[in-house]
Amino acid sequence: MTGTGTQAAVTFRGVGASPGMVLGSAYTLDRARVSAPMRHLSGGPTEVQAEKARLKSAVALATEQLDRLHRRFDPRSDQALILETHLLMLKDPMFLGEALRLIEQEAINAEWVVCRLVARFKSAFTDMENDYFRERYADIEYIGERVLRNLLGYRDDLELDGDDIPSGSVVVARDLSPADVAVLLRKSGVEGIVTDMGAKTSHVAILARARGLPCVVGAANLSNAVHRGDLIALDGQQGSVTLHPSPEDIERFQEQRHRYLAFGQSLNALKELPACSEDGVRVQLMGNTEHIDHLSSLLDHGAEGIGLFRTELLFLDRQELPDEEEHFEIYRAAIEALDGRPATFRTLDLGSDKMPSASAALTEREPNPALGLRGLRYCLRHRDVFIPQLKALLRAACHGPMRILFPMISSIDELIVGKECIAEARAQLEAEGKPFCADIPVGAMIETPAAAWSADKLARACDFFSIGTNDLIQYVLAFDRQNHQVAHLYQPMHVAVVRALEFVVQSAHAAGIPVAVCGEMAGDPLYTFLLLGIGFDELSMVGAQIPLVKRLIRAARAQEARDFLDQVKGCDSVEQCELLVQEEMARRFGKWLDY
């Protein structure tokens, strides 16, 4: 590790993608994109056929390269699942077929055709409402890059130059492909990752969080400023990266890191204790997930079960939807891994911005996906997709406690029809002689203003509520949270949002059913005290957020939180409300929130 020398310290700001603090040596990776100019094929049909054959060979080689890497991982690991996605995309007839057609029709070189197709996919994916699926453009870009490198004769770079990465390294790159990350996580010397590009939903962020590796993404231009061996201080919680830290910077960083680790250990001591306020109000803390690989991490952080299992994310980026058996095996494995803890499975939240393959995403687009055919609306339209999933859930429920959650409810009529579909699934299973659990709690996800303000009616027709605050805030305040021009309107403390949350809880409790929050608010410690005051029975979040939220609940009194809710409702403006919450949380819990 090189010293700081005479170079001045420079701090880069990005997005904290995975918490943790590490002081280490930069291990730079050059992942510059390759490109090629357009070339017209002037040799007639013979040259066109040769160019098509060259493209087929490049795709076949890319498939062989990724398959070789895929075989090195546990088939059920995140890395293997991501590489499977890329292999499926390479085999998508739309990709290769369209590329061959363009070569034939326009008599242009294969490299240029690949670049054009990647740009076309980028346009489709970046227009999507959902940030997770918008980030999946990186998958398309990656397979295009792999084919392009093969066409241009570059050597296979999947082994990261074959180097052994020194212990204590912080990997720095402009961007990293999922294959890059898969290889990096096999190398023991990697203690942190920083990229110029990316978001919290990119593959590098997802894999880093699953591994517990400190990570910052979106630290623009860092890779241009750093050299291999430079000293770096990375804070994955705050999203900051300091290059060439001074001795004083290092001393402060190490002190902060020591406090961070000690605080983490103190939170881990609460793992087996309940989230119970000082005056005896119990809140269940659950985990959000989409992969069974993440369950061990959730349980290690003290999750009492799964509060939200996003079933659709398991089966996207593939050529066809899963059948009943595929659904069943995943759900059964998740339930058995929980060893008696409860699990809430959200039925497929598919729609125009979430489809089973890249080709479907292009052909099924809607003018406004956020207000289109999605969630339960989609499932009720596509019973051939919905019924097999319901049958699998009913069968898996024989292996442990489970709840079924319907997304994107806007009326009691939709809820009733959804329950009728469950009855149809039961009837089919009975006719087929397959064992199943007939009595499973069914809940409504409260994401629309219609659902929120008819919660008193919905509560009589279901067994529980779960509030998706991300969408509920978006729809209540009538803004697109993916549009940077109005992103500032994402205001959890808007009086309309607070009133909606309170009304949903009051309606649920009046009907004798529990109510949960499974959106971002649940895991944000800034809102823990307020949510306790509103009266939620359950909060569901990412595993790493659970210990701190539990610490805050155990140090609070629910009656005081209810009194504070009255103060919040008395505020006239969002700014006033936010300031009140920040000051109250700092006064009560500042010694913990500093971390």
Closest CA to 504 of 452, 443, 466: 452
Task: Report the alpha-carbon angle 516-518-523, nearest 5.
Answer: 110
Structural domain includes residue 1: no
Over residues 256-281, mean pLDDT: 91
Q: How many helices (H) and strands (E) does the chain have?
A: 25, 16
Residues 487 and 582 occupy one common structural domain: yes
The answer, yes or no, to whether residue 494 has pLDDT greater than 60, is: yes
The answer, yes or no, to whether residue 398 has pLDDT greater than 90, is: yes
118-132, 188-202, 399-413, 455-469: segment of lowest average pLDDT: 118-132
DSSP strand pairing (306-310 vs 284-289): parallel
In this structure, the number of other CB atoms found within 10 A of the CB of residue 23 comes to 20
Report pLDDT for 453. 96
Residues 452 and 579 occupy one common structural domain: yes
**Distance between CA atoms of residues 327 and 308, nearest Å:** 16
Report pLDDT for 304. 97
Domains: count for the chain: 3
Tell me which residues are annotated as active site. Answer: 203, 518
Residues 122 and 194 occupy one common structural domain: no
**Distance between CA atoms of residues 315 and 335, nearest Å:** 18
Phi, psi of 166 (to 5 degrees): -60, 150
Residues 403 and 542 occupy one common structural domain: yes
**Distance between CA atoms of residues 565 and 576, nearest Å:** 14
Residues 372 and 521 occupy one common structural domain: yes
Tokens of 479: 């803004």
Tokens of 300: 């290690």
Domain carrying residue 137: 45-151
Residues 261 and 275 occupy one common structural domain: no
Mean per-residue pLDDT of the chain: 85
Tokens 């509560």, located at residue:
459
* 339: DSSP letter: T
Stated pTM of the model:
0.71
Residues 324 and 240 occupy one common structural domain: no
Report pLDDT for 73. 66
Tokens of 42: 């002037």
The answer, yes or no, to whether residue 147 has pLDDT greater than 60, is: yes
Structural domain includes residue 279: yes
CATH number for the domain spanning 51: value is: 1.10.274.10
Residues 219 and 257 occupy one common structural domain: yes
Structural domain includes residue 5: no
**Cβ 341 vs Cβ 401: under 8 Å:** yes
Residues 258 and 299 occupy one common structural domain: no
The answer, yes or no, to whether residue 267 has pLDDT greater than 70, is: yes
Helix or strand or coil: residue 115? helix
**Cβ 247 vs Cβ 225: under 8 Å:** no
What is the helix, strand, coil percentage profile of the chain, to 5? 50, 15, 35
Residues 330 and 421 occupy one common structural domain: yes
Determine the residue type at 473: I
**Cβ 285 vs Cβ 546: under 8 Å:** yes
Segment 373-396, tens digit of pLDDT: 778 888 888 899 899 999 999 999
The answer, yes or no, to whether residue 350 has pLDDT greater than 50, is: yes
Report pLDDT for 352. 41
CATH number for the domain spanning 449: value is: 3.20.20.60
Where does 357-406 show beta strands of DSSP type E?
Answer: 402-406
Residues 21 and 84 occupy one common structural domain: no
For the chain, the residue count is 595
Position 32 confidence tier, pLDDT thresholds 50, 70, 90: low
Determine the residue type at 178: P
CATH number for the domain spanning 260: value is: 3.50.30.10
Tokens 């936010």, located at residue:
578
Residues 561 and 501 occupy one common structural domain: yes
**Distance between CA atoms of residues 251 and 232, nearest Å:** 13
DSSP string of 246-298, one letter each residue: -HHHHHHHHHHHHHHHHHHHHHHTTTTS--B-TTS-B-EEEEEES-GGGHHHH
Task: Report the alpha-carbon angle 43-45-51, nearest 5.
Answer: 75
**Cβ 399 vs Cβ 332: under 8 Å:** yes
* 350: DSSP letter: -
Burial 410-432 (b: 16+ CB within 10 A, else e): bebebbeebeebbeebbebbeee
End-to-end Cα spacing for the chain: 27
Structural domain includes residue 257: yes
% the chain with pLDDT above 90: 48
In this structure, the number of other CB atoms found within 10 A of the CB of residue 528 comes to 28
Structural domain includes residue 322: yes
% the chain with pLDDT above 70: 85
Count CA atoms within 13 Å of residue 200 on its CB side. Answer: 13
Q: Where is the domain boundary, 265, 281, 305?
A: 265
Measure Cα distances from 397 to 31, 390, 403, 428, 445 in Å.
46, 11, 8, 16, 20
Structural domain includes residue 22: yes
The answer to whether the Cα torsion of 245, 250, 252, 256 is positive or negative is: positive
Tokens 């961007």, located at residue:
175
Structural domain includes residue 434: yes
Structural domain includes residue 38: no
Report pLDDT for 117. 84
Q: Where is the domain boundary, 92, 126, 151?
A: 151
The answer, yes or no, to whether residue 31 has pLDDT greater than 80, is: no
Q: Where is the domain boundary, 236, 265, 294?
A: 265
